[in-house]
Amino acid sequence: MHPDEGIYVASDISSPVIHISALHKTYATGIRRSKIHALKGVDMQVPAGEVLGILGPNGAGKTTLLKVLLGIVLPTSGEARLFGQPAGDPTARRRLGYLPENHRFPTYLTARQTLDIYGRLADLPDAARKERIPRLLEEVGLASWEDTRVGKFSKGMMQRLGLAQALLNQPEIVVLDEPTDGVDPVGRRDIRDRLRALKQTGTTIVINSHLLSEIELVCDRVLIMHKGRIIRSGTVDELAQQGTGWRIEVDRLPVSFDSTMWPVSLEESRRAILVEDGLPATLNRLIDQLRADGVQILGIERHRASLEAGFIDLITAQEDMP
Amino acid sequence: MTTLSGSLLLTFRELWAMRLTQAMLVIASLAWLLLSFALNMDVVEGSMAAVRIFGFDTTPTDGVFNEESGEWVSQALSLDKFLIGINTFVFGAAYFLGTLLGLFATMPLINGFLEHGRIDLLLSKPLSRARLLVGHLTGVWLTVLVLSAYLVGGVWLSLSLKTGIWMPQFLMAIPFITVMFGVMYSVILTISIISRSSGLGLVVTYGLIFLSIILASHDQIVPVLSEGNAAIFMTFYHVLPNFIEVVGVQAQLVEGQVVTTWYPFISSLLFGSVTYGIGFFWFSRRDF
């Protein structure tokens, strides 16, 4: 954390493809032009080839951050650069693919026509479009739907088409806003596989998702945003590690056992105790106490909190802060 | 160039997908097919002796009795006047109905263009905002140009072939319709960009067209106003588009007269240019 502003400063990276520095965004809304501070001094760097997940509750500023990066929203102050060029510069977007949240394609176009038009907009020559469109439709599982109007597509099919659109120009950076929204489990797995394959090619991927399990499975690094600030950054393991502890399974717990005296929580059945601080000393003291009370210990295992649990703890702690 | 073609193609496809555009094309086709096949004219020494539609006579050819000369005088219509009449009617219909319907038809087009999820995707492509808007506008203008050329050009060609009289000044209706549509489109587009409500844009645009009916009567209205109110009235007259008065310019051109003043057309063009300037500025500066 930055000592003064509470801003997370990422570690130095030699050649970031995304560089964001002291970024602020304030929206003025309504007749009275009341101000909403969507971003409050965000600093972030993403090296080439990294898969970065952005997490945060609704209104955290995730989508605004991505939109500033793409030049869709203009920053109030600060700097956002793609490949060393200002984020609003169209030439920087030539090497970028984007799948917006709740994207809308014209409903009267077929899947193939949609990709053709968006391919043109991405400045792809005829030959490249002819070669890539059928291949991408095949890869996202829409080959047999290529001449079907987009208006007849389900939400999941729209997401697949959106992904194909984002990959048309073989981008070096792919920005995905809720890529698996509305997609069934098989489709989600397909998208994950596609993202892993992209990662193998050295593509930088930035994902904004509410599905923490998706982030956990795909991302190298995760940023957690809250109220316009990046409050934590690290690998999935690092963030989940903060919730690591022990789980002790017992035959029964005496009524006299007072869980408030220990850094523990009890499962509803009162047949297992979760030791939250993860310190061996705490574990050993607790075992001694339980044995002294005549409790039979049936098993002890390392308890690793999920990213989701870590995320919820972090956000709850932030909400509780004055 | 490829990006511009994408933007153009998207606008064309969007317009074509609208039933109203297709309906306009059908109506234009019917208009000149009617003139080509259903309208028969008997021309005697440069005058219309008779006009028949679907084989039925529509004008008397017997003439009227002139009491002074004591002779029957042919009431045959001057061919030139007949052609001017038909073309003025076609121009009027295309200008008023075409513009009003056309503006109404573009409301969903603008909605679609500025819609969340659509505009984000367009802005993420490697083309500047100005270029994106130019592509959209070019698509709209070209569509209006093609539709008006199809209607006016078709009618002109059909009548010219039938009568053997070629009056190229009729074709001036094509740029007039296109340009004045463009002027009024600047209002709906700019207000939609600023307010994100194409409905509001349409109401204001229709309001300006209605206001131009009142402003066109400035010669009669201004003398009865107080000095202050007259100044306000004339400020509106000079600043706002003179949609109605432009019809007079076109009429003078068609009738082969010298145009007494181009002012309504030029001031409307200036209004359109300034409004587009404001629209481009807002489009380049606003968040989506």
Q: With an 8 Å Cβ cutoff, is B3 touching chain A? A: yes
- Residue A76's CB is within 10 A of a number of other CB atoms, namely 16
3-state class (DSSP) for residue A86: strand
pLDDT grade for A14, boundaries at 50, 70 and 90 = low
Two tokens, residue A247: 């789980």
**Alpha-carbon distance B151 to nearest alpha carbon in chain A (angstroms):** 26
Q: Would you kindly state where each structural domain of chain A is located, as residue ranges?
A: 245-303
Q: With an 8 Å Cβ cutoff, is B287 touching chain A? A: yes
Residue A318 is predicted with a pLDDT of: 75
- Judge whether residue A301 has pLDDT over 90: no
- Give the residue numbers in A contacting B (CB under 8 Å), as ranges: 27, 67, 70-74, 90-91, 93-94, 96, 98, 100-106, 108-109, 113, 117-125, 165, 175
- Angle between the B227-239 and B263-285 helix axes, to the nearest 10 degrees? 70
Contacts of B268 (CB under 8 A, 6+ apart): B180, B183, B241, B242, B243, B246
The helix, strand and coil proportions of chain A, stated in percent and rounded to the nearest 5, come to 35, 30, 35
**Alpha-carbon distance A269 to nearest alpha carbon in chain B (angstroms):** 47
* Identity of the residue in B14, B121, B127 whose CB atom sits nearest the CB atom of A103: B121
pLDDT by residue, tens only, chain B of 288 residues: 788 889 999 999 988 888 778 888 898 888 878 877 777 766 666 566 666 655 666 554 555 566 676 665 655 566 677 778 887 888 888 888 888 888 888 888 898 899 988 999 999 999 999 999 999 999 999 999 999 899 889 888 888 887 788 888 889 889 999 999 999 999 999 999 999 888 999 999 999 999 999 999 999 999 999 999 999 999 999 999 999 999 888 888 877 788 889 999 999 999 999 999 999 999 999 999
Strand positions, DSSP E, chain B: 39-44, 47-53, 56-57, 64-66, 71-73, 77-78
Average pLDDT in the A11-32 region?
A: 81
Contact call for A121 and B17, based on CB within 8 A: no
Write out pLDDT tens, residues A167-190: 999 999 999 998 888 788 888 888
Average pLDDT in the A15-34 region?
A: 89
Strand arrangement, sheet containing A245-250: A264-266, A272-275, A245-250, A297-303
**Alpha-carbon distance B17 to nearest alpha carbon in chain A (angstroms):** 7
* Identity of the residue in B10, B120, B131 whose CB atom sits nearest the CB atom of A100: B120
CA–CA separation, A245 and A84 (whole Å): 43
pLDDT grade for A8, boundaries at 50, 70 and 90 = very low
Residue A7 is predicted with a pLDDT of: 40
* Identity of the residue in A96, A104, A123 whose CB atom sits nearest the CB atom of B2: A123
Range scoring the smallest mean pLDDT among A138-147, A153-162, B85-94, B244-253: B85-94
Q: Which residue of B has its CA nearest to A129?
A: B2
Residue B283 is predicted with a pLDDT of: 96
- Evaluate whether B252 touches B169 at the Cβ level (below 8 Å): no
Residue A11 is predicted with a pLDDT of: 40
Q: With an 8 Å Cβ cutoff, is B196 touching chain A? A: no
- Interface ipTM above 0.85: no
CB contact residues (below 8 A), chain B span 14-73, against chain A: 14, 17
In a mutational test of the B interface, the residue from A93, A120, A163 whose CB has the highest number of chain B CBs within 10 Å is: A120
Of B126 and A304, the one with more pLDDT: B126
Per CB-CB distance under 8 Å, the chain A contacts of B196 are: none
Q: How many residue pairs bridge chain A and chain B with CB atoms within 8 Å of each other?
A: 93
Residue A97 CA, chain-centre distance (Å), reads 17
Per CB-CB distance under 8 Å, the chain B contacts of A106 are: 10, 13-14, 17, 112, 118
Write out pLDDT tens, residues A209-261: 877 878 888 899 999 999 999 998 988 878 776 656 788 999 988 888 888 88
Contacts of A307 (CB under 8 A, 6+ apart): A212, A213, A215, A216, A222, A236, A239, A240
Per CB-CB distance under 8 Å, the chain A contacts of B125 are: 90, 93, 118, 121-123
Write out pLDDT tens, residues A77-114: 999 999 999 988 898 899 999 999 889 999 999 999 99
Residue A6 is predicted with a pLDDT of: 38
- Judge whether residue A2 has pLDDT over 50: no
Q: Which residue of B has its CA nearest to A108?
A: B17
Residue A73 is predicted with a pLDDT of: 95
* Identity of the residue in A108, A109, A122 whose CB atom sits nearest the CB atom of B126: A122
